[in-house]
Amino acid sequence: MKARVLISLATLVLACSSTDDKKGHASGGTGSGATGATGSGGTSVVTVSGGSSNASGGSANGTSSGGSANGTSADAGKTAADLRANACNGWTNEPEVLPVVLMLVVDNSASMNDRPNRQQDGGTKWEITRDALAATLDGMPATAAVGVLFYPNMDTRGSDVERPIDQCVNINQMIPIDLLGESGSGQRSAIATALTNTRPAGSTPTHDAYDYALVHGMQESRLTGNRFMLLITDGAPTLAKGCQGGGLPTTPAPTDPIVQEVLAARQAGVRSFLIGSPGSESVNGMDARAWLSEAAVYGATAREGCSLYGPDYCHIDLSQDADFKSALNAALARILGLITSCTFDVPAKGTDGQTVNQNQINVIYTPGDGSGEQLVGRDDSADCSDGWQFDSDGRIVLCPNTCFTAQNDPDGKVELLFGCDSVNTGDVR
């Protein structure tokens, strides 16, 4: 995070509430990182620094008119100066802004050689996924840490007996998590080479792949940051853990154990995003989207109000998009733009010991060029681009365009003000 971050806590009672108001207000939307889970296992958000690879900068103060208005009518037309004069004076500190630590688990089984939604042009599902990942990773900041496991990444078939994982997942080709570094770095080159050389083949050992990537990729990494798994698959697993099962779409493996693995990861501080590619809507007549949505809930990346059975799924469902390429690029840009590091913790208590009221928080951005501080509006809408919103853990997340602006302003400053009703994006002047 290049921009400095300051937190101002007013000593006024106005800034606080006597009750615990930690309910999250995030609403990620399809492909969104700022999402609130509704199931057990906590809630989620994705990250922050660097902005999305397709972000164009955007206005730091946000002009979108969506979202729920959390300020009162008296807040209409408020400026940062108004808020500062009214209530927001107090002590300041500079919290640590954590970078993202991301492990990609990418299905490249034989079915990824199919073309999405019976399209005759535009490439196979794998070619589209490969190119989208390459473009998105190119746009991630040097401070992000990324690892990749393609699965099975080998020609593997079914088995009646349990086998070692290397019999159905090419674990030797996993790229361990490391800092991406600048353009041309060793980590970037290793991922780019793997993307180029990987070919779809074999069955779908999703549980083995996710578990191995979690344990030997994510948990073995000593890098600090906000931790996320991103699983991309086009349907149901065909091999159960232990490389066991029929190995064909006609004999899908159980999915409940994978969902429980995702929950265990969340309880260990790792959130999981799930992207369902075309094909996940029908695997041998079975709709695989329900288990993907359930995993997203337990992985703490499901948006508020979603349904396991659609049509508003809890995972990122791309199965019905007419243009899979555009949809996947947009989903990845949205996720990674939010998970790369504009996430700020909100203190549970004010200076007087009372609980901080989430509806009395505002964000101010001061550009480094001296053009003057700008009030950033709150926007709880699913497609927030400019502004800020809460994740379901009660943390503040800058929306992609605002994050991009702040991240690329080395002398800029983001300040959180406590004590004034939150001003909606539509009420910023």
Strand segments (E) across 295-351: 316-317, 343-344
List per-residue pLDDT tens for the chain, 429 residues long. Answer: 455 555 443 322 223 333 333 333 333 333 333 333 222 222 222 222 222 223 233 333 333 333 333 333 334 577 888 877 765 544 344 444 567 899 999 999 999 999 997 776 789 999 999 999 999 999 888 888 999 999 999 999 899 999 999 999 999 999 999 999 999 999 999 999 999 999 999 999 999 999 999 999 999 999 988 899 999 999 899 999 999 999 998 889 999 999 999 999 999 989 999 999 999 988 777 788 999 999 999 998 887 789 999 899 999 999 988 899 999 999 998 787 667 657 787 877 766 666 778 888 888 888 888 888 899 999 988 778 899 998 767 888 888 788 777 766 767 788 888 877 888 988 887
Those residues whose C-beta lies under 8 Å from the C-beta of residue 309, and which sit 6 or more positions away, are: 289, 290, 293
Report whether the peptide linkage leading into residue 278 is cis, meaning its omega lies within 30 degrees of zero: no
At the top level of CATH, the class of 100-338 is alpha beta
Backbone φ/ψ region at 148: left (φ over 0), alpha (ψ -120 to 50), beta: beta
- Beta carbons of 274 and 219 less than 8 angstroms apart: no
pLDDT at residue number 410: 66
Q: CA-CA distance, 260 to 306, in Å (whole number)?
A: 19
Fill in the DSSP letter of residue 109: S
Q: What is the pLDDT of residue 351?
A: 62
Whether the CB-CB separation of 14 and 87 falls below 8 Å is answered with yes
pTM: 0.68
Q: What is the pLDDT of residues 248-299, one digit of tens each?
A: 988 899 999 999 999 999 999 899 999 999 999 887 777 889 999 999 999 9
Q: Where are the domains of the chain?
A: 4-97+344-427, 100-338
